[in-house]
Structure 1
Amino acid sequence: SKPERAYRYALVATVASVLGGVAGWFIGHYAYEAVAKPILEFYGKYDEFEQLRTSSGVGFIVLMLITSGAAHLPPIKVVTILSGVIGVNLLLFIGLAIVARGARFLLLAWLLRRYGESIREFIEKRLGMIVSAGAAALILLYIAVRYAHG
């Protein structure tokens, strides 16, 4: 409702999101059995998580952080916990989270500042779908490259 404050809100949202991601990383790294596993089971994400855990390397985690940060594909809480469980370097994780989440929030802020109220309906109805399609394309490209080079 206040496009002139869009960048301020984007910064606050980025900082809060990254701090939440760091909390997820710590839960995954230090409290998987006691905390993370019950959370994943509660959200119905445990089986998906276990599949990712057994097949993920750092390169795939980097891709998932970017796609989940931009489009929640897969859900960001799964990726943050997984990053802690498999021991992704915390500074790398924080940097990637800043880029991924910051890009999403700054894009929204820029659109609101540039186009004002007229873009709001588009953002609410279609932007998530467009970003998700882009994230899915990145994941498919990564998988194709990974299997092409064996």
Structure 2
Amino acid sequence: MKFLKKFYDWVLHWAYTSYGVPALFILSFAESAFLPIMPEVILFPLCLSRHKKSFYYAFVCSISSVLGGLFGYLIGLEFWSIGQKIVFHYMTHEKFESVRLTYHTHEAWVIFLAALTPVPYKIFTIAAGFFRGDLVVFIIASVLGRSAKFFILVAPFYFFGPGIKSRIEKSFHIIGVSVIIAIVVIILIIKLVRK
């Protein structure tokens, strides 16, 4: 827990500097195309540090994430030899074929749900390019899904900002255990997706 508290303090410190928003933009972009680190690790501390700018941070995160998704689409479209290494890290070839069938029948919903939920969005951005998906549908579904996700996530910070920060710091041990459990659950979900 001490490590998590130190990490929390360290990330929160950067949120107060001029590097916070550029770091959020870069991380959000990269996460949508190839990086396995969620932008929330910077988004949440930024919202804690300046809660009245939470929706601005969500906007930055949404735009950069969709741009990163387009980069992921390009990887799948033109650089599949690279893209498949990322995709097959998360799922088997059999599961990928199942995704292909679902994608071609429910293209917009697949992208929207991938953009909205905790599943690795990058899998579907790269796959969409490989499947030669409709780019307009991809952009619209991504904008709606990513925006909904990030704006919903930051809404509590905007409306209850200072109170949330004090509660986090008072209940850090409980939150730390919850974070560890969440990480384990995400790993299990990824393993299930890969089967």
Q: State TM-score, norm by structure 2.
A: 0.54
Q: Does 1:50 align with 2:102?
A: no
Give the secondary-structure state (helix, strand or coil) at the position aligned to 1:88: coil
Partner of 1:26: 74
Equivalent in 31, 38, 41 of residue 85 of structure 2: 38
Equivalent in 6, 9, 12 of residue 60 of structure 2: 12
Partner of 2:113: 67
Q: Does 1:86 align with 2:134?
A: no
RMSD between aligned alpha carbons?
2.5
Distance 1:45 1:117 in 2: 41
Distance 1:78 1:65 in 2: 10
Structure 2: gaps of 5 or more residues: 1-47, 169-174, 183-195
Distance 1:108 1:57 in 2: 26
Counterpart residue identity of residue 78, structure 2: Y
Distance 2:162 2:145 in 1: 25
- Counterparts of 1:107-146 in structure 2, within 5 Å, are 107-119=152-164
Q: State TM-score, norm by structure 1.
A: 0.69
Distance 1:117 1:58 in 2: 46
User: CA 1:85–1:9 in 2, change beyond 3 Å: closer, same or farther?
Assistant: same
- Sequence identity percentage: 24
Counterpart residue identity of residue 140, structure 2: G
Q: Does 1:99 align with 2:144?
A: yes
Shift of 1:12: 0.9
CA deviation profile, 1:2-56 (whole Å, cap 9, x unmatched): 2111011101100111011101111111222x21112223x24243323312x13
Distance 1:39 1:11 in 2: 27
Distance 1:72 1:22 in 2: 19
Aligned length: 122
